[in-house]
Structure 1
Amino acid sequence: MQAVDAIVVSYDSASVLPSCLTALAREGARAIVVNNASRDGTLGIAEFFRAQIISNRQNEGYGRANNMGVKAAQSEWVLIINPDAVIDKGALERLMHATTLYPDAAMLAPRIIEPDGRFFFQFRSLLSPYLKNEKATRRFPEGDCCVPFLSGAVLLVRRDVFLQVGGFDENIFLFFEDDDLCRRIIDAGYSLVHVHAATARHQRGASTAPNLSRVFTARWHLAWSRAYICRKYGLKSPALGMAVVNSFKAMGAWLIWDRQRAARYGGSAAGAFSWLRGQTALARQGLRPRQEGS
């Protein structure tokens, strides 16, 4: 099997990073850890596993940080994997074998297993309305298949195609980057393939410790990114509806002193209102757009 570089973006992910890097080492992948200004033990863990380290002075977000990692990689195929994901034994070899079976595929992903044992599979994304078939019976795949969307939790991607289509959209700080990348790879004439025999475990949301501030911020970006991606592809804007509905929900949550829901709905409302006011996701995070090629 040819060498594969694995990109792991970490933001305070020390609690899950060792399991991820242990599995990558077992599979023979060369790890590149992009440290998004973590304040925990991420750097020490990456050093212990002898990973190549790219250190950022601030949290650059998912897409921008992964773009840095892919540009630093040397292998023909690159594995993009969340720090809270663990590839099972033999998974990388099976993914690489699939690249020879499906030469038109530019991105492949394993069967992803959730913490409760369920098989995560998304039949369509916001950006695949051309595949809408509401009357059909949806069945989970029992083998390899072409798909309109692959989760960004674990992706094997051809490095040259990734760079050719521009990588992840760096205007997005968080959410919908994988939807957008999948759409652009399909539009460029390549296939996305689900590889059923390759498996990975995903501890959804375990890569950073939860708190109300992070819940608010995540929901802000979810709402903002949805509005952004809709405009990018000419879809109806959801911003005003999200702003109004979530404002009322947030007020209701505060009335019953449900702080968790208040943070969720308040973040969604704030993100939608910020989009309507013209604020960018990067500006909210104190980031500047990078120059082309940087």
Structure 2
Amino acid sequence: MDNIDIVIVIYNSEKWITDCLISISKLNYSKNKLNLIFVDNNSKDNSAKIVNEYSGKDEFGSFKYIGLKENLGFGTANNIGVQQGNSPFVFLLNIDTKITEDCLSKLQAVIAKSDWNTAAWELRQFPYEHPKAYDPITLETSWCSAAALVVRRELFIEVGMFDSNIFMYCEDVDLSWKLRANGYKLLYVPQCVVYHFSYSLPDEVKPNQLYNATFNNLMLRYKYGGIGDVLRGYFLFFTLFLRKSINTRNHYRRLICNLILSLPKGYKFRKSRYKSLTKLNFHPKFEIWDFEKTRKGSFYKNEIIDKNPLVSILVRTVGRPNVLRNTLCSIRNQTYSNIEVIIVEDGMPISEQMIIDEFKDLQIKYLATREKKGRCVTANLALEMASGEFLNFLDDDDFFFADHIEVLVQGIVNNPIYHAAYSIAFEAPTKILSGERHFSSEDYYINFNTPFNYLKLVENNFLPIQTVLFSRTLYQKYGGMDTSLVVLEDWDLWLRYSSEKEFYYVEKVTSIYTVPYNSYDYINRTKLLEDARQNLLEKHKNTRVSVPIQSILEKSKRFKFNFLEIIKNEIKENKFIKIKYRIKQKMLVVFAKK
């Protein structure tokens, strides 16, 4: 990437322009290689004046202002801006953004390493990251948000640019699908951050987004989907009438208008059905109102923290370098930089050469036991080798999304009373083909999404091993894994580590936990785990668990325990903690409330 055109569409944007321009001027990238093109959708405020009177115009390669006589919409305005430039790369940027200083320099390095058929690179949005799932190994994504998107000019023009029939919202999905239908790849670049001030509050629902995005979702079903997709779209559309709104009358009016418009416009979109859809057997996805599986946590507030403690990622592996490779790629993609990787191979050093050849950029400590030692021994060896302030297991068949370590470190640093933090995981049924594991985002489902509750953890493990980041102090106090256990050793570890203080819960999907795709293998695995579960329950049946009373008191206020229901549930659900002890703990809650 050398010269780049930055195309910015404005419409009554006077409050954003100055800050956006200042952030661009602070980029550690040659300013004479940046060509700024502003396209004004007929603003009625001082947007034109602020742009035209900007004092720093001369520091850029070029600086253009294009004033339109009417509001043509986001996509069409961007098309006009792109046609006014000639750089090989175009940076489509929303005006309500600020770019971090190293954003383009980092992106330049990524583009230099990208394949020739990579068409676009989506930058990460702060403080609220776009929630769609992406491949944690390759960082490929099914579609890119145009709020902060760099695209190859020739390919953008080749596929017909943005669809001028889409006024606002979903035009970036349409563009992404056209690029993919022509055989091009799209990449997510999580280390390149752009602050996007799209939402003023978490869970905010913007009216224009609600009505335009749902309408255009329906139009894309006409353009790309089958009759079943269109019918499901109308079903979803009718459910919007049940949605509560502050202005019910206006809500119904806008929905009815969209419903009436949907038939003639849908016919128009159907006629423009993209001809390349069958070229590469390309099949777009419709996930309710989304276009990809979404990661829970869309309004988790990300931030860049000052502290940067060393984190040790502990990887257990056993003679399968092709599987381990993908796991290490997901570690390489982490946005958090201060990481060391501890790899312990149970048996002969089969993976050693692959690690040396392909992962020189990672700080790795490697050990092969040469003789089979088992899961718990290899885990304890990794714990002994680690030097990080915080530790996180990642088995060789599981994966981190790029923000996993960053998000969990942020959780602990901002909440120092906790010694461990955990997040949510996708469960992914996985096939093994030619020695490599393959999974599809179509099969993702959230299997572990539970706010911390020690009593629930006593009954069932809701913490997959890779979801927990914990302090070294816990290991020093409670030791490593119980070597007498064959499986569920992580459950036993979490019970000990959380016996005095609960774990901090981060309500965001940041990792993937794989399970067998084959039903026979899955049943055998389930049986093995259930047998091991009974053994673990037997091991702890006489354990006097010390549950923090303060933690229970806080939860009692939240859930409003009823004493009779407590006794009934305890008798019904008790597994291995003595009923008397557990009822006693909750009785304290009841009497404390009174």
TM-score, structure 1 normalization: 0.76
Match for residue 118 of structure 2?
105
Find the partner of 2:129 among 119, 132, 136: 119
Please report how far the alpha carbon of residue 9 of structure 1 lies from its aligned counterpart in structure 2 after TM superposition.
Answer: 0.4
| Match of residue 161 from structure 2 | 167
2:189 to 180, 195, 201: 195
Among 36, 40, 50, which residue is 2:41 paired with? 36
Per mean C-alpha deviation after superposition, the further-off stretch among 45-54 and 171-180 is 45-54
Verify the 8 A CA contact 2:121 2:144 in the aligned structure 1: yes
Q: Which residue does 1:229 correspond to in 2? A: 220
Distance 1:222 1:181, change over 3 A: same
The answer to whether the 8 Å contact 2:221/2:233 transfers is: no
**Cα separation, 1, equivalents of 2:242 and 2:142:** 34
Q: Secondary structure at the match of 1:16?
A: helix
CA contact (8 A) 1:223 1:272 kept: no
CA 1:196–1:240: 2 relative to 1, 3 Å: closer
2:32 maps to 1:46: no
Letter in 2 for 1:108: W
Q: Do the aligned residues in 2 keep the contact of 1:36 with 1:57 (CA within 8 Å)? A: yes
Measured against aligned partners, the alpha-carbon deviations of 1:227-283 in whole angstroms (never above 9, x if no partner) come to: 21101002421553355333454xx65xxxx22x6545542443133213x258x9x
Return 5+ residue gaps in structure 1 as ranges.
125-139, 283-294
1:25 alignment counterpart? 25
1:288 maps to which residue?
none
1:197 Cα deviation after fit: 1.8
Q: 2:257 matched to 1:270?
A: yes
Q: Out of 50, 72, 80, which is 1:60 matched to?
A: 72
Amino acid at match of 1:19: D
Contact (CA 8 Å) 2:12, 2:43: kept in 1 or not?
Answer: yes
CA distance in 1, matches of 2:265, 2:222: 14
Q: Percent identity?
A: 24
| CA drift at 1:205 | 5.1
Secondary structure at the counterpart of residue 171 of structure 1: coil
Distance 1:218 1:23, change over 3 A: same
User: Is the contact between residue 227 and residue 272 of structure 1 (CA under 8 Å) also seen in structure 2?
Assistant: no
Partner of 1:9: 9
Which range is displaced more, 263-272 or 150-159?
263-272
Q: Give the partner amino acid of 1:87.
A: I
Consecutive unaligned residues of structure 2, counting only runs of 5 or more, are 58-62, 269-594
Give the conservation status (yes or no) of the 8 Å contact 1:239–1:273. no
Root-mean-square deviation (CA, aligned residues, Å) is: 2.7
- Is this contact kept in 2: 1:6–1:24, CA < 8 A? no
Matches within 5 A, 1:138-177: 141=136, 145-177=139-171
Q: Which has the larger radius of gyration?
A: 2
Distance 1:156 1:264, change over 3 A: farther
Tell me if the contact between 1:146 and 1:193 (Cα under 8 Å) persists in the aligned partners. Answer: yes
State the one-letter code of the partner of 2:91. Answer: L
Instruction: Return closer, same or farther for 1:193/1:264 CA change in 2, 3 Å cut-off.
Output: farther
Note if contact 2:218-2:234 (Cα within 8 Å) is conserved in structure 1.
Answer: no
Residues 4 and 79 in structure 1, CA contact (< 8 A), matched pair in contact too: yes
| CA 1:201–1:38: 2 relative to 1, 3 Å | same
Alpha carbons 1:144, 1:194 under 8 Å: kept = no
For residues 123-150 of structure 1, give each alpha carbon's deviation from its aligned partner in whole angstroms, at most 9, with x where no partner exists: 27xxxxxxxxxxxxxxx95x87111122
Using the TM superposition, name which of 240-249 and 175-184 deviates more: 240-249
Alpha-carbon separation, structure 2, partners of 1:67 and 1:169 = 9
Change (3 A) 1:222 1:195: closer
TM-score normalised by length of structure 2: 0.39
* Counterpart code for 1:96: Q
